Amino acid sequence: MERVFQIVAVILAGVAAYFLWIGNKDGAFVSAVLGCVSFFLSIRAQVKERRRQREEEDRSQEGRSAEANHKEPTGDN
Q: pLDDT tens-digit profile of 2-11?
A: 899 999 999 9
Q: How far apart are CA 72 and CA 18, in angstroms?
A: 71
50-74 pLDDT, tens digit per residue, is 999 999 988 888 777 766 666 666 6
> Which residue type is seen at 10?
V
For residue 15, the enclosing domain spans 2-64
46 inside domain: yes
Residue 1 has what pLDDT?
A: 82
Supply the pTM of this predicted model: 0.72
Domain presence at residue 76: no
Cβ-proximal residues to 25 (8 Å cutoff; 6+ apart), any chain: 19
Q: What pLDDT digit, counting tens, does each position of 15-61 carry?
A: 999 999 999 999 999 999 999 999 999 999 999 999 999 999 888 88
| Residue 57 CB-half CA count within 13 A | 6
Number of domains present in the structure of the chain? 1
